[in-house]
Amino acid sequence: MGAFIDLKAADGFVFPAYVAQPAGQCKGAIVVLQEIFGVNSHIRAVADGYAQAGYLAVAPSTFHRVRPGVELGYQQDDMAAGMALKAAVEALPAPGVLQDIQAAIGHGAGAGKVGIVGYCWGGLLTWRAACTLDGLSAAVPYYGGGMTTPDEVARRPKVPVLAHFGDQDHWIPLNSVEAFRKAHPEVQVQVYHANHGFNCDQRGSYDAAAARLARERTLAFFAEHLG
């Protein structure tokens, strides 16, 4: 359904993004932010799913500044490689990869209002985007690793946010989710009886019921705020 195109950030850096077009009338655009495994077959399928729901979907390669062409699986070696790449991106001088996400938002703006959704590390980047970037109308982080730490909780979103978490997630303790909820009454926080990565049908932690309910809520949220 989609194809890779090149986008250019404000500093002139050129990077690829997977873009999926809706078949019919466009309801708006959704930026889809990858996990630590690259814009792999799962993320492309997620983008395709949002295109099927009527949105222009844009999935930027948020690893491209440190390594091009990353497409990992979900084995232990893949996890280690992804963690190292994430650390390298996080170590970039500010604004780092956020300027690439801003460029993806700008590309989506031609389709109407823009939302953003991200998974795992992409969930953390989605939260940061909601708090710091321009041109968004809604944000949906899925199990954003690190977004319940004090530094991230201290941020304030500029747009409506719906956040999905799993109560079995050993990467994001439930007490930190509850502290996040208390600090951000303006954020819709949904907790599922599921583990980290519950949306990914290529991972052992996949939970079909939680993924289905979270997607229903996400699509309703975007319909409300993007039209």
Annotated catalytic residues are 120, 169, 196
CA distance 78 to 5: 25
The Cα diameter of the chain in Å comes to: 43
Question: For the chain, how many residues are written?
Answer: 227
Residue type, 189: V
CA distance 63 to 219: 27
Place of tokens 């978490």: 165
3-state secondary structure of 136: coil
Q: Is 188 exposed, middle or buried (0-12, 13-18, 19+ CB in 10 A)?
A: middle
CA distances from 18 to 10, 38, 61, 180 (A): 19, 11, 8, 32
Place of tokens 């949105």: 55
Say if strands 29-33 and 56-60 run parallel, antiparallel, or are unpaired. parallel
CA distance 40 to 35: 9
Residue type, 39: V
